[in-house]
Amino acid sequence: MRPSYGLYTLSLAAAIRSAASGADACPGYTATQVTTNGNTLTVALTLAGVPCNIYGSDIENLLLEVTYETDTRIHLKITDPTTARYEVPESVLPRPAANASTTPETAAIQFNYTASPFAFSIFRASTSEILFSTASYPLVFEPQYLRLKTSLPLDANIYGLGEHSENFRLPTVNLTRTLWSRDAYGVPNGTNLYGNHPIYYEHRVTGTHGVFFLNSNGMDIKINTTAEEGTTLEYNVIGGILDLYFLAGSETDPTEVARQYAEVVGTPAEVPYWSFGLHQCRFGYTDFVEVADVITNYSLANIPLETMWTDIDYMYNRRIFTIDPDYFPLTRMRQIIDYLHAHDQHYILMTDPAVAYAPGEGYGTYDRGSAADVWLKAANGSYFLGVVWPGVTVFPDWFNPSIQSFWTNEFQMFYNQETGLDIDGAWIDMNEPSSFCVVPCTDPFEQAREQDLPPPRTTVPPDPNAPIFVNSSKTDVASALQKRQNYSGENVLYPPYAIDNAAGALSNRTSYTNAVHANGLIEYNTHNLFGTMMSTATHNAMLSRRPGLRTLVVTRSTFSGAGKRVQKWLGDNFSDWEHYRNSIAGILNMASVFHVPMVGADVCGYAEDTTETLCARWAMLGAFYPFMRNHNDDTSISQEFYRWPTVAQAARNALSMRYRLLDYIYTAFHQDYLDGTPVLNPLWYKYPQDPSTFSIDLQFLYGPSILVSPVTDENATSVSIYFPHDTFYDFATLAPIQGNASYVEIENVDLTSIPVYIRSGAVLPLRVQGAMTTTALREQNFEFIIAPNSSGEAFGSLYVDDGVSITPNATTDVNMAYKNGILAVSGTFGHATGVNVSRVLLLDVYDAPQSVKLNGHGLSDATLYDATNKVLDVTVDLPFDDNFTLQIL
């Protein structure tokens, strides 16, 4: 019997399909022993025929459990009831609670199945539209191979399944998306990269939904389109279980699926206000003098520098939690940090996971970690050894019960305000984990010698008393002081199904898949969690250093849910136009799909030499990344923004826009923290009925209202911009432009400008001008820009707090609404802004107003009308500490 758990059943004919070979010819399963308990359906699955055993023995009996967790979320699990198979630990990704009152009858999406052969579907309750269907594709469930396949609409609009450097809308022909963390120098297109997010959103004009596959094992996700099958999506996984969350999304608002995904993996952490400033770094700053000179030169060039970074160059023999006494002596480094803090600037240093294997050498970090027994173990019980920058290394075991106290202690000892380096944020790299040891790594010591690790210094150390900051225009600093789950017969080094890992063997240039954690789990299952677990430990260590303050922990490797605690840069890109363009899709994936919104690419490129043109364009695009950092490697030319006059001016112009918008951006981040509303939006998020927007990934919306459309071709001084059917306003002139769902060629875009537009219907809270630091920026007055929609209305919000506290003592939350010629600004003013609202600018005004009143009092002498750009400028000059109204008639 089939239970009435859905509105209809799949026909048996549709569920039976002849296949020539491979998984499609496997017998699949038969559903029996069906039970329901409240909002949960449980079904026994029994192998339906002769096993196909394509990559191992088919498991004969499985258990299906389907739970309607909320009205918009179905949780489906298929497990082996007789064997303890690996699942992503709750300690890494806590599961959301189910709402016990949810029933299938009230759910927006519903589950249905056929019993023999077993197949299931997820469909939208309001329309019966099938969103996910395994009909015709038998389930395969073996010890080291799982296969689940669904049909999709022809040439479906699929987004996510990262980390990757494809276009934002994924190809639907011959795509294999491999998830297996690796050190992916050059972030090559079409290969597995640093992190893993097995979530996809599918958009149709009838609605948007999501599918999250909670599994950290290596996998190939294949999307293909053929004449016989149409478009399909297929999971091929080398372990774990089938653990899927189906998200209903919405029929009208694509961002709703993002909020529903946030209910599963968590909303992003709030970051400190200062983190939105410009960051500068380089791998290859040779000594403390060069670091100080860069800080000085940014100041002299009048380019706002918020945070200085230093790569592994500062370390002694590339060992973490050490400092080179000749090139970066502690007293001089502390002088740099004191100088930065005295000028309201910040400092960040690199911390890698690999720890030099140094028995008997007096290396404190290694000795303390060994005493606490916190290192990852090889299969034989000895320390697992790799080869990284310090030479032969051990790796922290993030599952070890003592690892957090060890890691926190190292941070508190080395990054110490009284005696160490008082950093403001953390940068963690190489945490896939990366190892330079090539399989078979039978002798890591020999491989370290062959690779000359740690690399020798190639410059003469500076005079330890060399003066620094002598040419700075700033004041002197002195004035401002489970058990191991390894199934019988498994080959975890070379599994029978080989995923398309670009590095080759699973263990090549990383930890071995048979390495063992303290809780018995092996890297074969947990490899893809390494970066996120290091991120969590580092976040906690930074919290212990500065209790109550938000952390900034920028990582390279992430897994689903990482954004709850950490931030992300897109890895070791190249200084070329392809990586410049691809970075837009990269930040859209992280911020609008994966919930890691504080994200950016290395501005001007990391590897190879940039050019003045590329760096100028990238400085402007980078100003609209959430995380803006200029960073490059030690073999490339210097690329600090002040190196070229054109780039310096481009940076100043773009940073002025960024800083004026910073409170609007900060408010968008706060909303993302509250409910998962994305900070960045592809155009189709806001124009879901316009098919022309579905593949656009060279333009994006920052927050709900700022359209960014950079020049993306070398030597071009024009850009073709798609304007949906809506009104937009030029950010520079505030003049309106009517979009007609077509491309418009914008001419004369010089190397120091970037086309930015305000989407209609917005009230924007802007600072009147930029500043050299975010601290100084918060002393600038506000101005409100009203950009009316076709109905003559506009809305906005503003959130202000102290910018650093996890739980601020006071906050200011303001809503702005413009209707019928009246701007009403109202809210709570708990956090004192300390500034005024200087003016209000109303856009798209075709005649000078007859009457302007502030809180009922006339302001006729305080208005200016620009007939050319149709802008009304009203001077308000009102303390921003209470509600007010402005009437314009």
pLDDT tens-digit series, residues 527-572: 999 999 999 999 999 999 999 999 999 999 999 999 999 999 999 9
Is the model's pLDDT at 476 over the cut of 70?
Answer: no
What does the alpha-carbon distance between residue 674 and residue 816 come to, in Å, rounded to a whole number? 19
What does the alpha-carbon distance between residue 356 and residue 335 come to, in Å, rounded to a whole number? 28
**Per-residue pLDDT band at 255 (split at 50, 70, 90):** very high
pLDDT of residue 489: 61
pLDDT of residue 490: 82
Report residue 210 as tokens.
């999501």
Q: State whether 77 and 190 are in the same domain.
A: yes
| pLDDT tens-digit series, residues 642-694 | 999 999 999 999 999 999 999 999 999 999 999 999 999 999 999 999 999 99
Q: By three-state DSSP, how is residue 330 classified?
A: helix
Residues with Cβ < 8 Å from 538, sequence gap 6 or more? 351, 407, 411, 426, 428, 553, 555, 566
Mean of all residue pLDDT scores within the chain? 95
Q: State whether 23 and 141 are in the same domain.
A: yes
Which residue type is seen at 507? S
Number of domain units in the chain: 3
Q: State whether 340 and 226 are in the same domain.
A: no
What is the total residue count of the chain? Answer: 889
Can you tell me the mean pLDDT for 808-822?
A: 98
Q: Are 179 and 221 in contact (CB under 8 A)?
A: yes
Across-strand partners of 124?
109
Can you tell me the mean pLDDT for 1-19?
A: 30
Which residue type is seen at 753? S
Residue found by looking up tokens 């302001």 in the block: 859
What does the alpha-carbon distance between residue 644 and residue 622 come to, in Å, rounded to a whole number? 17
Specify if 574 maps to a domain.
yes
Specify if 493 maps to a domain.
yes
Specify if 484 maps to a domain.
yes
Specify if 263 maps to a domain.
no
Q: State whether 737 and 706 are in the same domain.
A: yes
Cα angle for residues 583, 589, 591 (degrees, 5° grid): 100
pLDDT of residue 331: 97
Specify if 492 maps to a domain.
yes
For position 806, which CATH number holds?
Answer: 2.60.40.1180
Specify if 5 maps to a domain.
no
**E strand or H helix at 175, and its extent?**
strand 175-179
Specify if 260 maps to a domain.
no
Answer with the one of 248, 265, 293 that is the final residue of a domain: 248
Angle 530-545/403-414 helices, nearest 10 degrees? 50
| pLDDT tens-digit series, residues 119-131 | 999 999 999 999 9
Report residue 140 as tokens.
């395969």
Q: State whether 237 and 348 are in the same domain.
A: no
Q: State whether 875 and 752 are in the same domain.
A: yes
Phi-psi sector, 204: left (phi>0), alpha (psi -120 to 50), beta: beta
> Which one, of 585, 583, 614, lies nearest residue 600 by Cα?
583
Where helices occur in 662-714 by DSSP H, the ranges are: 662-675, 683-686
**Per-residue pLDDT band at 22 (split at 50, 70, 90):** confident
Answer with the one of 668, 691, 725 that is the final residue of a domain: 668
Q: Are 356 and 387 in contact (CB under 8 A)?
A: no
Q: How do strand 425-428 and strand 553-555 relate by DSSP bridges?
A: parallel
pLDDT of residue 206: 98
> Which one, of 149, 124, 145, lies nearest residue 136 by Cα?
149
Is the model's pLDDT at 488 over the cut of 50?
Answer: no
Across-strand partners of 211?
200, 246
Q: How do strand 553-555 and strand 567-569 relate by DSSP bridges?
A: parallel
What does the alpha-carbon distance between residue 508 and residue 869 come to, in Å, rounded to a whole number? 60
**E strand or H helix at 140, and its extent?**
strand 140-142
Which residue type is seen at 866? D
What does the alpha-carbon distance between residue 120 and residue 130 come to, in Å, rounded to a whole number? 10
Q: State whether 577 and 655 are in the same domain.
A: yes
**Per-residue pLDDT band at 46 (split at 50, 70, 90):** very high
What does the alpha-carbon distance between residue 53 and residue 149 come to, in Å, rounded to a whole number? 17
Q: Are 75 and 248 in contact (CB under 8 A)?
A: no
Cβ atoms within 10 Å of 362's Cβ, excluding its own = 7
Task: Name the residue range of residue 174's domain.
Answer: 12-248
Answer with the one of 643, 668, 693 that is the final residue of a domain: 668
Q: Are 181 and 196 in contact (CB under 8 A)?
A: yes
**Per-residue pLDDT band at 50 (split at 50, 70, 90):** very high
Q: Are 14 and 135 in contact (CB under 8 A)?
A: yes
| Percent of the chain predicted with pLDDT > 90 | 95
Report residue 397 as tokens.
């075991």
Where helices occur in 393-546 by DSSP H, the ranges are: 403-414, 444-450, 523-526, 530-545
Is the model's pLDDT at 11 over the cut of 70?
Answer: no
- Edge-to-edge strand ranges of the sheet holding 727-730: 680-681, 700-702, 706-708, 756-759, 727-730, 736-738
Q: State whether 83 and 113 are in the same domain.
A: yes
Q: State whether 662 and 691 are in the same domain.
A: no
| Percent of the chain predicted with pLDDT > 70 | 96
Distance of CA 349 to the CA centre of its chain: 20
> Which one, of 768, 622, 784, lies nearest residue 276 by Cα?
622
| pLDDT tens-digit series, residues 747-792 | 999 999 999 999 999 999 999 999 999 999 999 999 999 999 999 9
Q: How do strand 207-213 and strand 29-37 relate by DSSP bridges?
A: unpaired
Residues annotated as catalytic (active site), given as ranges: 429, 432, 572
Residue 702 has φ and ψ, to the nearest 5°, of -90, 115
| pLDDT tens-digit series, residues 260-319 | 999 999 999 999 999 999 999 999 999 999 999 999 999 999 999 999 999 999 999 999
Distance of CA 80 to the CA centre of its chain: 33
Can you tell me the mean pLDDT for 162-166?
A: 96
For position 608, which CATH number holds?
Answer: 3.20.20.80
**Per-residue pLDDT band at 15 (split at 50, 70, 90):** very low
Q: How do strand 425-428 and strand 346-351 relate by DSSP bridges?
A: parallel
Q: State whether 704 and 644 are in the same domain.
A: no
pLDDT of residue 472: 59
Specify if 255 maps to a domain.
no
For position 50, which CATH number holds?
Answer: 2.60.40.1760
Q: State whether 289 and 379 are in the same domain.
A: yes
Q: CA-based Rg of the chain, rounded to a whole angstrom?
A: 28
Q: State whether 602 and 657 are in the same domain.
A: yes
**E strand intervals along 690-735:** 700-702, 706-708, 719-723, 727-730
Residues with Cβ < 8 Å from 18, sequence gap 6 or more? none
